[in-house]
Chain A
Protein backbone atom coordinates (compact mmCIF):
# COMPACT_ATOMS: atom_id res chain seq x y z
CA UNK A 1 0.00 0.00 0.00
CA UNK A 2 1.33 3.43 -0.90
CA UNK A 3 1.90 5.54 2.26
CA UNK A 4 -0.15 8.70 2.42
CA UNK A 5 1.81 11.90 1.64
CA UNK A 6 3.30 13.40 4.75
CA UNK A 7 3.49 17.06 5.65
CA UNK A 8 6.90 16.86 7.29
CA UNK A 9 7.26 20.53 8.18
CA UNK A 10 4.20 20.48 10.45
CA UNK A 11 5.72 17.72 12.55
CA UNK A 12 9.10 19.42 12.75
CA UNK A 13 7.53 22.72 13.80
CA UNK A 14 5.48 20.98 16.49
CA UNK A 15 8.57 19.19 17.79
CA UNK A 16 10.51 22.47 17.83
CA UNK A 17 7.72 24.09 19.87
CA UNK A 18 7.75 21.18 22.34
CA UNK A 19 11.51 21.38 22.58
CA UNK A 20 11.43 25.11 23.26
CA UNK A 21 8.74 24.64 25.94
CA UNK A 22 10.86 21.98 27.60
CA UNK A 23 14.01 24.09 27.47
CA UNK A 24 12.16 27.10 28.93
CA UNK A 25 10.76 24.89 31.66
CA UNK A 26 14.24 23.73 32.63
CA UNK A 27 15.42 27.32 32.85
CA UNK A 28 12.40 28.76 34.69
CA UNK A 29 11.16 26.02 37.03
CA UNK A 30 12.74 25.70 40.49
CA UNK A 31 11.25 22.39 41.55
CA UNK A 32 13.61 19.52 40.74
CA UNK A 33 10.78 17.23 39.63
CA UNK A 34 9.28 19.84 37.31
CA UNK A 35 12.73 20.53 35.84
CA UNK A 36 13.08 16.84 35.21
CA UNK A 37 9.64 16.67 33.58
CA UNK A 38 10.69 19.48 31.26
CA UNK A 39 13.73 17.45 30.26
CA UNK A 40 11.40 14.56 29.43
CA UNK A 41 9.38 16.94 27.24
CA UNK A 42 12.57 17.78 25.34
CA UNK A 43 13.33 14.09 24.85
CA UNK A 44 9.82 13.52 23.50
CA UNK A 45 10.20 16.46 21.13
CA UNK A 46 13.24 14.70 19.70
CA UNK A 47 11.26 11.46 19.51
CA UNK A 48 8.48 13.14 17.55
CA UNK A 49 10.97 14.60 15.08
CA UNK A 50 12.68 11.23 14.69
CA UNK A 51 9.45 9.38 13.99
CA UNK A 52 8.33 11.97 11.47
CA UNK A 53 11.67 11.81 9.66
CA UNK A 54 11.67 8.02 9.69
CA UNK A 55 8.23 8.01 8.08
CA UNK A 56 9.37 10.65 5.60
CA UNK A 57 12.36 8.56 4.49
CA UNK A 58 10.39 5.29 4.78
CA UNK A 59 13.07 3.59 6.83
CA UNK A 60 13.39 2.02 10.28
CA UNK A 61 16.58 3.64 11.64
CA UNK A 62 14.79 6.60 13.20
CA UNK A 63 12.17 4.37 14.80
CA UNK A 64 14.84 2.15 16.33
CA UNK A 65 16.55 5.22 17.77
CA UNK A 66 13.22 6.24 19.34
CA UNK A 67 12.95 2.87 21.11
CA UNK A 68 16.39 3.40 22.59
CA UNK A 69 15.55 6.96 23.64
CA UNK A 70 12.47 5.68 25.47
CA UNK A 71 14.52 3.00 27.23
CA UNK A 72 17.16 5.52 28.20
CA UNK A 73 14.51 7.92 29.47
CA UNK A 74 13.04 5.18 31.66
CA UNK A 75 16.45 4.41 33.14
CA UNK A 76 17.00 8.10 33.72
CA UNK A 77 13.70 8.40 35.56
CA UNK A 78 14.66 5.55 37.88
CA UNK A 79 18.01 7.09 38.74
CA UNK A 80 16.77 10.67 38.81
CA UNK A 81 13.83 10.08 41.12
CA UNK A 82 16.06 8.05 43.45
CA UNK A 83 18.48 10.97 43.68
CA UNK A 84 15.64 13.44 44.24
CA UNK A 85 14.26 11.26 47.06
CA UNK A 86 17.70 11.19 48.69
CA UNK A 87 18.03 14.96 48.50
CA UNK A 88 14.53 15.35 49.94
CA UNK A 89 15.45 13.16 52.91
CA UNK A 90 18.49 15.25 53.76
CA UNK A 91 17.01 18.69 53.00
CA UNK A 92 13.21 18.38 53.33
CA UNK A 93 13.00 20.37 50.08
CA UNK A 94 13.57 19.79 46.38
CA UNK A 95 13.93 23.43 45.39
CA UNK A 96 17.06 23.59 43.25
CA UNK A 97 17.88 27.09 44.49
CA UNK A 98 18.43 25.63 47.94
CA UNK A 99 21.07 23.23 46.66
CA UNK A 100 23.85 25.49 47.82
CA UNK A 101 25.95 23.55 50.26
CA UNK A 102 28.63 23.17 47.59
CA UNK A 103 29.98 26.50 46.48
CA UNK A 104 33.15 28.54 46.17
Chain B
Protein backbone atom coordinates (compact mmCIF):
# COMPACT_ATOMS: atom_id res chain seq x y z
CA UNK B 1 0.00 0.00 0.00
CA UNK B 2 2.71 2.48 0.95
CA UNK B 3 5.37 0.90 -1.21
CA UNK B 4 7.64 3.49 -2.82
CA UNK B 5 6.39 4.86 -6.09
CA UNK B 6 8.40 3.66 -9.10
CA UNK B 7 10.17 6.35 -11.09
CA UNK B 8 9.67 6.87 -14.76
CA UNK B 9 6.11 7.92 -15.53
CA UNK B 10 3.03 5.95 -16.48
CA UNK B 11 4.79 3.07 -18.23
CA UNK B 12 6.62 2.02 -15.04
CA UNK B 13 3.74 2.64 -12.66
CA UNK B 14 0.98 0.54 -14.20
CA UNK B 15 0.17 -2.75 -12.47
CA UNK B 16 -2.24 -5.68 -12.89
CA UNK B 17 -2.11 -5.48 -16.67
CA UNK B 18 -2.59 -1.72 -16.74
CA UNK B 19 -5.63 -1.78 -14.45
CA UNK B 20 -4.21 0.39 -11.66
CA UNK B 21 -1.49 2.99 -11.48
CA UNK B 22 0.63 3.28 -8.35
CA UNK B 23 1.69 6.93 -8.25
CA UNK B 24 1.90 9.71 -5.67
CA UNK B 25 -1.65 10.86 -6.38
CA UNK B 26 -3.04 7.41 -5.63
CA UNK B 27 -0.87 7.23 -2.53
CA UNK B 28 -2.00 10.53 -1.02
CA UNK B 29 -5.68 9.85 -1.73
CA UNK B 30 -5.37 6.34 -0.32
CA UNK B 31 -3.94 7.70 2.92
CA UNK B 32 -6.91 10.09 3.08
CA UNK B 33 -9.41 7.29 2.47
CA UNK B 34 -7.81 4.92 4.98
CA UNK B 35 -7.79 7.67 7.60
CA UNK B 36 -11.45 8.37 6.91
CA UNK B 37 -12.35 4.67 7.16
CA UNK B 38 -10.40 4.23 10.40
CA UNK B 39 -12.09 7.21 12.02
CA UNK B 40 -15.48 6.09 10.74
CA UNK B 41 -14.97 2.77 12.55
CA UNK B 42 -13.89 4.59 15.72
CA UNK B 43 -16.91 6.88 15.78
CA UNK B 44 -19.29 3.98 15.06
CA UNK B 45 -18.32 2.22 18.28
CA UNK B 46 -21.09 3.53 20.53
CA UNK B 47 -23.78 4.14 17.93
CA UNK B 48 -26.81 1.96 18.71
CA UNK B 49 -27.69 -0.80 16.22
CA UNK B 50 -24.51 -0.42 14.16
CA UNK B 51 -21.56 -0.25 16.57
CA UNK B 52 -21.70 -3.90 17.68
CA UNK B 53 -22.39 -5.47 14.28
CA UNK B 54 -19.58 -7.33 12.52
CA UNK B 55 -21.18 -7.16 9.09
CA UNK B 56 -21.33 -3.38 9.32
CA UNK B 57 -17.54 -3.15 9.60
CA UNK B 58 -17.07 -5.77 6.87
CA UNK B 59 -19.10 -3.63 4.45
CA UNK B 60 -17.07 -0.56 5.43
CA UNK B 61 -13.93 -2.47 4.49
CA UNK B 62 -15.43 -3.39 1.10
CA UNK B 63 -16.32 0.25 0.46
CA UNK B 64 -12.82 1.33 1.47
CA UNK B 65 -11.30 -1.15 -0.96
CA UNK B 66 -13.48 0.26 -3.73
CA UNK B 67 -12.44 3.80 -2.90
CA UNK B 68 -8.73 2.89 -2.85
CA UNK B 69 -9.13 1.34 -6.30
CA UNK B 70 -10.99 4.44 -7.51
CA UNK B 71 -8.02 6.59 -6.59
CA UNK B 72 -5.69 4.39 -8.66
CA UNK B 73 -7.90 3.12 -11.50
CA UNK B 74 -6.33 3.57 -14.91
CA UNK B 75 -8.53 1.41 -17.11
CA UNK B 76 -12.21 1.77 -18.00
CA UNK B 77 -12.85 -1.73 -16.62
CA UNK B 78 -11.27 -0.85 -13.28
CA UNK B 79 -13.09 2.52 -13.18
CA UNK B 80 -16.41 0.66 -13.41
CA UNK B 81 -15.53 -2.04 -10.88
CA UNK B 82 -14.11 0.42 -8.35
CA UNK B 83 -17.05 2.81 -8.63
CA UNK B 84 -19.59 0.03 -8.22
CA UNK B 85 -17.78 -1.67 -5.35
CA UNK B 86 -17.90 1.63 -3.52
CA UNK B 87 -21.47 2.50 -4.45
CA UNK B 88 -23.08 -0.87 -3.74
CA UNK B 89 -21.41 -1.07 -0.32
CA UNK B 90 -22.55 2.45 0.48
CA UNK B 91 -26.17 1.73 -0.57
CA UNK B 92 -26.18 -1.07 2.00
CA UNK B 93 -24.62 1.06 4.71
CA UNK B 94 -27.04 3.95 4.18
CA UNK B 95 -30.04 1.63 4.59
CA UNK B 96 -28.43 -0.31 7.42
CA UNK B 97 -30.87 0.63 10.21
CA UNK B 98 -33.45 -1.93 9.23
CA UNK B 99 -36.53 -0.91 11.19
CA UNK B 100 -35.91 2.77 10.68
CA UNK B 101 -38.13 4.38 8.03
CA UNK B 102 -35.74 7.30 7.47
CA UNK B 103 -32.73 5.07 6.91
CA UNK B 104 -34.64 2.83 4.48
CA UNK B 105 -35.91 5.82 2.55
CA UNK B 106 -32.41 7.31 2.35
CA UNK B 107 -31.09 3.95 1.15
CA UNK B 108 -33.67 3.65 -1.64
CA UNK B 109 -33.11 7.23 -2.78
CA UNK B 110 -29.34 6.83 -2.83
CA UNK B 111 -29.68 3.54 -4.65
CA UNK B 112 -32.04 4.81 -7.38
CA UNK B 113 -30.07 8.01 -8.05
CA UNK B 114 -26.79 6.11 -7.91
CA UNK B 115 -27.86 3.31 -10.24
CA UNK B 116 -29.22 5.83 -12.76
CA UNK B 117 -26.10 7.97 -12.79
CA UNK B 118 -23.76 5.00 -13.04
CA UNK B 119 -25.81 3.67 -15.98
CA UNK B 120 -25.33 7.02 -17.74
CA UNK B 121 -21.62 6.94 -16.91
CA UNK B 122 -21.34 3.39 -18.24
CA UNK B 123 -22.98 4.36 -21.52
CA UNK B 124 -20.50 7.21 -21.80
CA UNK B 125 -17.64 4.78 -21.21
CA UNK B 126 -18.97 2.38 -23.83
CA UNK B 127 -19.11 5.18 -26.40
CA UNK B 128 -15.60 6.19 -25.41
CA UNK B 129 -14.46 2.64 -26.04
CA UNK B 130 -16.27 2.70 -29.35
CA UNK B 131 -14.56 5.91 -30.47
CA UNK B 132 -11.06 4.94 -29.32
CA UNK B 133 -10.97 1.14 -29.55
CA UNK B 134 -9.15 0.60 -26.28
CA UNK B 135 -9.80 0.72 -22.56
CA UNK B 136 -6.63 1.98 -20.91
CA UNK B 137 -7.18 5.61 -19.99
CA UNK B 138 -3.56 6.51 -20.71
CA UNK B 139 -3.97 5.27 -24.27
CA UNK B 140 -7.36 6.83 -24.84
CA UNK B 141 -6.34 10.43 -25.53
CA UNK B 142 -3.93 9.40 -28.27
CA UNK B 143 -6.50 7.06 -29.79
CA UNK B 144 -9.18 9.76 -29.67
CA UNK B 145 -6.88 12.21 -31.43
CA UNK B 146 -5.97 9.60 -34.05
CA UNK B 147 -9.62 8.82 -34.70
CA UNK B 148 -10.19 12.44 -35.78
CA UNK B 149 -13.60 12.77 -34.14
CA UNK B 150 -15.88 15.75 -34.28
CA UNK B 151 -15.90 17.72 -31.01
CA UNK B 152 -19.65 17.09 -30.68
CA UNK B 153 -19.10 13.36 -30.20
CA UNK B 154 -16.48 13.87 -27.53
CA UNK B 155 -18.67 16.46 -25.83
CA UNK B 156 -21.48 13.90 -25.60
CA UNK B 157 -19.15 11.45 -23.84
CA UNK B 158 -17.87 14.24 -21.62
CA UNK B 159 -21.35 15.14 -20.45
CA UNK B 160 -22.24 11.51 -19.70
CA UNK B 161 -19.05 10.99 -17.72
CA UNK B 162 -19.71 14.22 -15.83
CA UNK B 163 -23.18 12.99 -14.82
CA UNK B 164 -21.59 9.96 -13.17
CA UNK B 165 -18.82 11.84 -11.41
CA UNK B 166 -21.08 14.80 -10.58
CA UNK B 167 -23.37 12.45 -8.70
CA UNK B 168 -20.48 11.04 -6.68
CA UNK B 169 -19.08 14.43 -5.67
CA UNK B 170 -22.65 15.82 -5.23
CA UNK B 171 -22.27 18.69 -7.68
CA UNK B 172 -25.35 20.71 -8.65
CA UNK B 173 -27.54 19.66 -10.56
CA UNK B 174 -26.84 16.06 -9.47
CA UNK B 175 -27.06 16.83 -5.75
CA UNK B 176 -30.70 16.01 -4.94
CA UNK B 177 -29.86 12.86 -3.02
CA UNK B 178 -27.33 14.54 -0.74
CA UNK B 179 -29.42 16.15 2.03
CA UNK B 180 -31.85 13.22 2.27
CA UNK B 181 -29.13 10.61 2.39
CA UNK B 182 -27.06 12.58 4.89
CA UNK B 183 -30.07 12.96 7.17
CA UNK B 184 -31.36 9.40 6.93
CA UNK B 185 -28.13 7.38 7.00
CA UNK B 186 -26.51 6.29 10.28
CA UNK B 187 -24.39 9.33 11.22
CA UNK B 188 -20.95 7.66 10.98
CA UNK B 189 -21.86 6.60 7.44
CA UNK B 190 -22.88 10.16 6.62
CA UNK B 191 -19.39 11.20 7.71
CA UNK B 192 -17.82 8.44 5.60
CA UNK B 193 -19.79 9.35 2.47
CA UNK B 194 -19.07 13.03 2.89
CA UNK B 195 -15.30 12.57 3.02
CA UNK B 196 -14.19 9.13 1.74
CA UNK B 197 -16.49 8.80 -1.23
CA UNK B 198 -16.00 12.43 -2.18
CA UNK B 199 -12.19 12.30 -1.97
CA UNK B 200 -12.03 9.11 -4.05
CA UNK B 201 -14.33 10.63 -6.66
CA UNK B 202 -12.19 13.75 -6.94
CA UNK B 203 -9.11 11.55 -7.43
CA UNK B 204 -10.85 9.69 -10.23
CA UNK B 205 -12.23 12.90 -11.74
CA UNK B 206 -8.78 14.53 -11.85
CA UNK B 207 -7.05 11.47 -13.27
CA UNK B 208 -9.74 10.73 -15.83
CA UNK B 209 -10.14 14.23 -17.22
CA UNK B 210 -6.44 15.01 -17.39
CA UNK B 211 -5.60 11.67 -19.00
CA UNK B 212 -8.48 11.27 -21.44
CA UNK B 213 -9.52 14.77 -22.51
CA UNK B 214 -6.36 16.92 -22.45
CA UNK B 215 -6.98 18.09 -26.01
CA UNK B 216 -10.55 19.14 -25.30
CA UNK B 217 -9.72 21.44 -22.39
CA UNK B 218 -11.41 24.46 -23.89
CA UNK B 219 -14.79 22.72 -23.55
CA UNK B 220 -14.60 21.10 -20.16
CA UNK B 221 -12.92 23.96 -18.33
CA UNK B 222 -15.96 26.11 -19.05
CA UNK B 223 -18.38 23.32 -18.13
CA UNK B 224 -16.62 22.64 -14.81
CA UNK B 225 -16.30 26.33 -13.98
CA UNK B 226 -20.05 26.80 -14.47
CA UNK B 227 -20.75 23.63 -12.47
CA UNK B 228 -18.52 24.94 -9.66
CA UNK B 229 -20.35 28.28 -9.61
CA UNK B 230 -23.80 26.70 -9.31
CA UNK B 231 -22.62 24.10 -6.82
CA UNK B 232 -21.08 26.64 -4.46
CA UNK B 233 -23.88 29.15 -4.68
CA UNK B 234 -26.82 26.78 -4.35
CA UNK B 235 -25.14 24.76 -1.60
CA UNK B 236 -24.46 27.84 0.48
CA UNK B 237 -27.85 29.49 -0.07
CA UNK B 238 -29.77 26.34 0.89
CA UNK B 239 -27.51 25.73 3.91
CA UNK B 240 -28.59 29.09 5.30
CA UNK B 241 -32.16 27.94 5.95
CA UNK B 242 -31.49 24.51 7.47
CA UNK B 243 -32.50 23.64 11.02
CA UNK B 244 -31.20 20.07 11.03
CA UNK B 245 -27.45 19.88 11.61
CA UNK B 246 -26.97 16.89 9.29
CA UNK B 247 -28.85 18.63 6.45
CA UNK B 248 -26.86 21.78 7.09
CA UNK B 249 -23.63 19.81 6.81
CA UNK B 250 -24.99 18.16 3.65
CA UNK B 251 -25.52 21.50 1.92
CA UNK B 252 -22.19 22.65 3.29
CA UNK B 253 -20.58 19.58 1.73
CA UNK B 254 -22.21 20.44 -1.62
CA UNK B 255 -20.69 23.91 -1.34
CA UNK B 256 -17.29 22.46 -0.41
CA UNK B 257 -17.41 20.24 -3.51
CA UNK B 258 -18.01 23.44 -5.46
CA UNK B 259 -14.83 25.01 -4.08
CA UNK B 260 -12.84 21.91 -4.97
CA UNK B 261 -14.27 22.03 -8.52
CA UNK B 262 -12.69 25.49 -8.86
CA UNK B 263 -9.36 23.73 -8.53
CA UNK B 264 -10.34 21.17 -11.19
CA UNK B 265 -11.24 23.97 -13.60
CA UNK B 266 -7.91 25.67 -12.85
CA UNK B 267 -6.02 22.42 -13.42
CA UNK B 268 -6.81 22.28 -17.04
CA UNK B 269 -5.99 25.81 -17.93
CA UNK B 270 -2.74 25.71 -16.07
CA UNK B 271 -0.57 23.08 -14.44
CA UNK B 272 -0.04 21.16 -11.23
CA UNK B 273 -1.00 24.16 -9.05
CA UNK B 274 -4.74 23.58 -9.46
CA UNK B 275 -4.73 19.85 -8.86
CA UNK B 276 -2.30 20.27 -5.97
CA UNK B 277 -4.80 22.67 -4.43
CA UNK B 278 -7.61 20.11 -4.89
CA UNK B 279 -5.56 17.41 -3.17
CA UNK B 280 -4.72 19.72 -0.26
CA UNK B 281 -8.34 20.84 0.03
CA UNK B 282 -9.69 17.29 0.13
CA UNK B 283 -7.23 16.37 2.88
CA UNK B 284 -8.21 19.32 5.04
CA UNK B 285 -11.90 18.65 4.34
CA UNK B 286 -11.50 15.01 5.42
CA UNK B 287 -10.05 16.01 8.79
CA UNK B 288 -12.46 18.88 9.39
CA UNK B 289 -15.68 17.15 8.48
CA UNK B 290 -14.81 14.05 10.49
CA UNK B 291 -14.26 16.27 13.54
CA UNK B 292 -17.62 17.97 13.04
CA UNK B 293 -19.48 14.67 12.61
CA UNK B 294 -17.84 13.18 15.70
CA UNK B 295 -19.41 15.96 17.76
CA UNK B 296 -22.76 15.55 16.01
CA UNK B 297 -22.78 11.83 16.91
CA UNK B 298 -21.88 12.51 20.54
CA UNK B 299 -24.62 15.13 20.93
CA UNK B 300 -27.16 13.02 19.05
CA UNK B 301 -26.59 10.14 21.47
CA UNK B 302 -27.43 12.26 24.49
CA UNK B 303 -30.23 14.47 23.20
CA UNK B 304 -31.67 11.99 20.70
CA UNK B 305 -32.09 14.76 18.16
CA UNK B 306 -30.11 16.06 15.23
CA UNK B 307 -31.43 19.62 15.09
CA UNK B 308 -29.07 22.57 15.36
CA UNK B 309 -31.05 23.59 18.46
CA UNK B 310 -29.91 20.38 20.16
CA UNK B 311 -26.40 21.83 20.30
CA UNK B 312 -27.66 24.70 22.49
CA UNK B 313 -25.41 25.46 25.43
CA UNK B 314 -22.86 22.84 24.47
CA UNK B 315 -20.24 25.18 25.88
CA UNK B 316 -21.71 24.90 29.39
CA UNK B 317 -22.11 21.16 29.26
CA UNK B 318 -18.89 20.15 27.55
CA UNK B 319 -16.54 23.06 26.86
CA UNK B 320 -13.92 20.94 25.12
CA UNK B 321 -16.42 19.45 22.68
CA UNK B 322 -17.76 22.92 21.97
CA UNK B 323 -14.23 24.14 21.27
CA UNK B 324 -13.55 21.25 18.88
CA UNK B 325 -16.81 21.91 17.02
CA UNK B 326 -16.00 25.64 16.92
CA UNK B 327 -12.59 24.93 15.36
CA UNK B 328 -14.14 22.57 12.81
CA UNK B 329 -16.73 25.19 11.85
CA UNK B 330 -14.08 27.89 11.49
CA UNK B 331 -12.00 25.57 9.32
CA UNK B 332 -14.99 24.81 7.10
CA UNK B 333 -15.64 28.54 6.85
CA UNK B 334 -12.01 29.23 5.97
CA UNK B 335 -10.72 31.27 8.93
CA UNK B 336 -6.95 31.30 9.61
CA UNK B 337 -4.97 29.71 11.18
CA UNK B 338 -6.98 26.57 10.45
CA UNK B 339 -6.48 24.25 7.50
CA UNK B 340 -9.59 25.48 5.69
CA UNK B 341 -8.07 28.89 5.16
CA UNK B 342 -4.92 27.55 3.50
CA UNK B 343 -7.01 25.18 1.37
CA UNK B 344 -9.26 27.95 0.06
CA UNK B 345 -6.30 30.27 -0.47
CA UNK B 346 -4.55 27.72 -2.70
CA UNK B 347 -7.72 27.03 -4.68
CA UNK B 348 -8.49 30.68 -5.31
CA UNK B 349 -4.91 31.57 -6.19
CA UNK B 350 -4.78 28.62 -8.63
CA UNK B 351 -7.94 29.99 -10.26
CA UNK B 352 -6.42 33.48 -10.55
CA UNK B 353 -3.24 31.98 -12.00
CA UNK B 354 -5.28 30.15 -14.60
CA UNK B 355 -6.99 33.40 -15.64
CA UNK B 356 -10.31 32.50 -14.00
CA UNK B 357 -10.47 35.61 -11.84
CA UNK B 358 -14.27 35.73 -11.93
CA UNK B 359 -14.43 32.19 -10.57
CA UNK B 360 -12.13 33.10 -7.70
CA UNK B 361 -14.36 36.10 -6.92
CA UNK B 362 -17.46 33.89 -6.85
CA UNK B 363 -15.57 31.58 -4.49
CA UNK B 364 -14.61 34.40 -2.13
CA UNK B 365 -18.17 35.76 -1.99
CA UNK B 366 -19.48 32.26 -1.31
CA UNK B 367 -16.95 31.73 1.47
CA UNK B 368 -18.24 34.91 3.12
CA UNK B 369 -21.87 33.77 2.83
CA UNK B 370 -20.98 30.39 4.31
CA UNK B 371 -19.45 32.01 7.39
CA UNK B 372 -22.94 33.11 8.42
CA UNK B 373 -24.40 29.65 8.86
CA UNK B 374 -21.27 28.22 10.43
CA UNK B 375 -21.23 31.04 12.96
CA UNK B 376 -24.94 30.61 13.70
CA UNK B 377 -24.12 27.12 14.95
CA UNK B 378 -21.27 28.56 17.03
CA UNK B 379 -23.66 31.12 18.52
CA UNK B 380 -26.14 28.37 19.42
CA UNK B 381 -23.38 26.44 21.18
CA UNK B 382 -21.94 29.37 23.12
CA UNK B 383 -24.86 31.74 23.79
CA UNK B 384 -28.12 29.77 23.90
CA UNK B 385 -29.31 28.06 27.06
CA UNK B 386 -29.19 24.25 27.06
CA UNK B 387 -32.48 22.35 27.21
CA UNK B 388 -31.06 19.30 28.96
CA UNK B 389 -28.29 20.82 31.06
CA UNK B 390 -28.51 18.00 33.57
CA UNK B 391 -27.52 15.26 31.13
CA UNK B 392 -23.74 14.89 30.94
CA UNK B 393 -22.21 14.08 27.58
CA UNK B 394 -20.14 10.92 27.97
CA UNK B 395 -17.15 10.74 25.63
CA UNK B 396 -15.71 7.25 25.41
CA UNK B 397 -12.18 6.37 24.39
CA UNK B 398 -12.65 5.88 20.60
CA UNK B 399 -14.26 9.30 20.29
CA UNK B 400 -11.41 10.93 22.20
CA UNK B 401 -8.91 9.40 19.78
CA UNK B 402 -10.93 10.50 16.78
CA UNK B 403 -11.26 14.07 18.03
CA UNK B 404 -7.59 14.37 18.97
CA UNK B 405 -6.42 13.11 15.58
CA UNK B 406 -8.78 15.27 13.54
CA UNK B 407 -8.50 18.51 15.52
CA UNK B 408 -4.73 18.34 15.90
CA UNK B 409 -4.38 17.43 12.22
CA UNK B 410 -6.63 20.32 11.23
CA UNK B 411 -4.57 22.85 13.21
CA UNK B 412 -1.19 21.47 12.11
CA UNK B 413 -2.25 21.31 8.46
CA UNK B 414 -3.17 25.00 8.64
CA UNK B 415 0.07 26.10 10.32
CA UNK B 416 3.43 24.32 10.28
CA UNK B 417 2.55 21.55 7.82
CA UNK B 418 1.33 23.82 5.03
CA UNK B 419 4.65 23.79 3.16
CA UNK B 420 5.50 20.07 3.21
CA UNK B 421 1.91 19.09 2.59
CA UNK B 422 1.50 21.41 -0.37
CA UNK B 423 4.76 20.08 -1.81
CA UNK B 424 3.49 16.52 -1.51
CA UNK B 425 0.17 17.51 -3.09
CA UNK B 426 1.74 19.30 -6.02
CA UNK B 427 4.22 16.49 -6.64
CA UNK B 428 1.23 14.14 -6.67
CA UNK B 429 -0.46 16.39 -9.17
CA UNK B 430 2.54 16.81 -11.44
CA UNK B 431 2.62 13.03 -11.95
CA UNK B 432 -0.74 13.31 -13.71
CA UNK B 433 0.61 14.92 -16.82
Contacts and interface: CB of A to CB of B under 8 A. Distances in A.
Interface of A: 12, 15, 19, 22-23, 26, 32, 35-36, 39, 42-43, 45-47, 49-50, 52-53, 56-57, 59, 61-62, 64-65, 68-69, 72, 75-76, 79-80, 82-84, 86-87, 90-91, 96, 99, 101-104
Interface string B125-151: 111011001110000000000000000
Contacts of A36: 112, 115
Nearest to B131: A53
A101 B102 contact: yes
Interface in B66-81: 76-77, 80-81
A72 B80 contact: yes
B119 A39 contact: yes
Interface stretch (B47-55, B179-187, B331-339, B417-425): B179-187
Contacts of A23: 120
Interface stretch (B84-92, B207-215, B253-261): B84-92
Contacts of B111: 79-80, 83
Contact of A61 (B81, B88, B123, B134): B134
B102 A32 contact: no
8 contacts: A39-B115, A45-B123, A49-B130, A68-B77, A69-B122, A76-B84, A86-B108, A102-B180
Given A42-B123, A96-B112, 18 more contacts: A35-B112, A42-B119, A42-B122, A43-B119, A46-B119, A46-B125, A53-B130, A57-B133, A65-B76, A68-B77, A82-B95, A83-B107, A84-B108, A99-B109, A102-B106, A102-B184, A104-B242, A104-B247
B241 interface: yes
Contacts of B84: 72, 75-76
Nearest to A98: B105
A46 B123 contact: yes
Contacts of B122: 42-43, 46, 69
Contacts of B123: 19, 42, 45-46, 49
A53 B126 CA distance: 8
Contact of A86 (B80, B98, B115, B183): B98
Interface in B259-285: none
Contacts of A43: 119, 122
A102 B129 contact: no
B219 interface: no
A79 B92 contact: yes
B400 interface: no
A61 B129 contact: yes
Given A46-B119, A53-B126, A83-B107, A103 B180 contact: yes
Interface of B: 76-77, 80-81, 84, 88, 91-92, 95, 98-99, 101-102, 104-109, 111-112, 115-116, 119-120, 122-123, 125-127, 129-130, 133-135, 179-180, 183-184, 238, 241-242, 247
A29 B42 CA distance: 41
A72 B89 CA distance: 12
Residue in B80, B106, B129, B238 whose Cβ sees the most chain A Cβ within 10 Å: B129
A19 B76 CA distance: 20
A61 B421 CA distance: 39
A43 B115 CA distance: 9
Given A22-B119, A83-B111, A91-B101, A61 B77 contact: yes
Contacts of B120: 23, 42
Nearest to B99: A90
Contact of A65 (B77, B115, B127, B247): B77
Nearest to B83: A72
Nearest to A26: B116
